[in-house]
Structure 1
Amino acid sequence: MHDTGGQGWRITMDTSRPMLIAFYLKEVAGLDGAGTPSLSHAAPKVRQADHTHLTAEVGGVHALKTEWEAWWEQLIRAHPKQAPELVPPDFKAFGNSPALQRVLQAHFGAALGWARDRLDEYSELEAVREASGAASVLGDMVEDRLLEVGRSSRDFSLTIIELPLKEPRAWYLEPDKMIMSHKLLSQPEVFRSYVQPVVDILA
């Protein structure tokens, strides 16, 4: 986790194990365009599987999409906490989402392994950033804004959730979160083009 702050403000960058698991399930189920924001595909690519038979008795793929979107929204709101609990093999917390519950039961092992690999990669990425001082751009953006407006910062916190996305971009989720491709910080100008406007609003 990268944590940058000053008087009254704080910006954190981190990834999320439960969101990685949810993201894998979205990809494996082929739920293109599901969720808000509508994210690009995963990198590395996740092979899709046909879930027609698995979900046919519980509302089909349409129900799966609706249930997944509700779960995704809950994960974003709760971050950095996990909600609801992922407890195999029954996933009882998903009793009201039977299509999603079945997909979790079918793919949880693979999702967990994929998420673990992505977390390992993120740890390596953080070490490289730490060594290069890449995350210092966050403080620079706040300072630039405060110099521009000629005052001290308003109190704010911004949480940036990094995910392994194919497309190098970011999405602002009001009031205080962003979802971002884990590769974006390595492109400082593009990174700034997404984050500076949010910092300008908050600071």
Structure 2
Amino acid sequence: MYFRRGNNWSLTIYTDPHLLMALYLRELAGVNPAEVGPNCRLEPDVKERTGPHSVHGQIKQEWGSWWDSLTTHDTAPEVAVPVPANLLEWLEDNGYPELARLARPHYGQATLFAHQHTEDFERRSRDYIPDRMDEIEQLLIERGIEHAADAMEKQISVIEVPLKEPRAWLTGGSTILASSVLLRDSKAFRGFIQPMLTIIFPI
């Protein structure tokens, strides 16, 4: 996790195993990314594993509700994958029975995927995340946020997710989901982030 604080703002950039596992289960369920969640697929490809008795519409509805609960917060969650029984029980106890049924036989692989990507992000991100933080800080300075006397302090969270396209999505009040490929591309990153900062910090 990367953290920086300025006047009137703080910035956190990290990847979240909870979101990684949710996206992995979305791919397993064969849910169309255009219908729910960030509208592009995971990298690498994950083969659909829904069985003949799965209720596809119900899984899509449950997954969308779960995803909203994971992405509408504006504070960084604890970055740790819960133990298998906890998440499975949570899905069952909170109204996601079809997701829990799908997750149960594939939980080990989903957990492994989340752990491996988190480790990969921690290793590779040192080469480019500090530059992205510099660019966000510069954009805030250019917008006048850094020295605005009456600006409300806000926490910006940028969550890296391994999606195939160089895209970013603003969710919640000041949480940005950014694909891995976007975070490695300075010019494209600035093009996505600049208008989002105008929404987060309206003048």
| Corresponding position: 1:189 with 2:187 | yes
Identify the match of residue 67 of structure 1 among 44, 59, 62. Answer: 62
How far apart are residue 11 of structure 1 and its match? 1.7
Answer yes or no: is the 8 Å Cα contact 2:11–2:157 preserved in 1: yes
* Structure 1 unaligned residues grouped into runs of 5+: none
Relative to 1, partners in 2 of residues 1:102 and 1:4: Cα closer, same or farther, differing over 3 Å?
A: same
How far apart are residue 197 of structure 1 and its match? 1.2
One-letter code aligned to 2:154: F
How far apart are residue 36 of structure 1 and its match? 4.8
Answer yes or no: is the 8 Å Cα contact 1:170–1:180 preserved in 2: yes
Identify the match of residue 146 of structure 1 among 135, 144, 147. Answer: 144
Relative to 1, partners in 2 of residues 1:159 and 1:144: Cα closer, same or farther, differing over 3 Å?
A: same
One-letter code aligned to 1:33: P
How far apart are residue 134 of structure 1 and its match? 4.4
Partners of 1:114 and 1:90 lie apart in 2 by: 15
One-letter code aligned to 1:71: W
Q: Which moved more, 1:185-194 or 1:26-35?
A: 26-35
Q: What is the match of residue 176 of structure 2? A: 178
Answer yes or no: is the 8 Å Cα contact 1:171–1:178 preserved in 2: yes
* Structure 2 unaligned residues grouped into runs of 5+: none
Partners of 1:133 and 1:89 lie apart in 2 by: 37
- For each residue in 1:72-107, what CA deviation from the matched residue of structure 2 results, as whole angstroms up to 9, or x when unmatched? 11111345248xx66428922222221111111011
- For each residue in 1:126-154, what CA deviation from the matched residue of structure 2 results, as whole angstroms up to 9, or x when unmatched? 22236x7443111111111118x984554
Partners of 1:90 and 1:177 lie apart in 2 by: 23
- TM-score, normalized by length of structure 2? 0.84
Partners of 1:89 and 1:13 lie apart in 2 by: 26
RMSD (Å), alpha carbons: 2.8
| Corresponding position: 1:157 with 2:155 | yes
Relative to 1, partners in 2 of residues 1:4 and 1:29: Cα closer, same or farther, differing over 3 Å?
A: same
Relative to 1, partners in 2 of residues 1:14 and 1:90: Cα closer, same or farther, differing over 3 Å?
A: closer
Q: What is the match of residue 26 of structure 2? A: 26
Relative to 1, partners in 2 of residues 1:142 and 1:89: Cα closer, same or farther, differing over 3 Å?
A: closer
Q: Once the two structures are aligned, what percentage of the paired residues are identical?
A: 25
Partners of 1:122 and 1:90 lie apart in 2 by: 23
- TM-score, normalized by length of structure 1? 0.84
Answer yes or no: is the 8 Å Cα contact 1:36–1:73 preserved in 2: no
One-letter code aligned to 1:62: G
Answer yes or no: is the 8 Å Cα contact 1:63–1:99 preserved in 2: yes
How far apart are residue 13 of structure 1 and its match? 1.2
Answer yes or no: is the 8 Å Cα contact 2:72–2:171 preserved in 1: no
Q: What is the match of residue 7 of structure 1? A: 7
- For each residue in 1:50-71, what CA deviation from the matched residue of structure 2 results, as whole angstroms up to 9, or x when unmatched? 3333x3xxxx111111111111
One-letter code aligned to 2:14: D
- After the TM superposition, which segments of 4 or more aligned residues of structure 1 sit over 6 Å from their partners? none
Partners of 2:43 and 2:29 lie apart in 1 by: 16
Indicate the SS of the match to 1:183.
Answer: helix
Partners of 2:96 and 2:148 lie apart in 1 by: 49
| Corresponding position: 1:42 with 2:37 | no
Relative to 1, partners in 2 of residues 1:37 and 1:93: Cα closer, same or farther, differing over 3 Å?
A: closer
Q: Which moved more, 1:106-115 or 1:41-50?
A: 41-50
Answer yes or no: is the 8 Å Cα contact 2:62–2:98 preserved in 1: yes
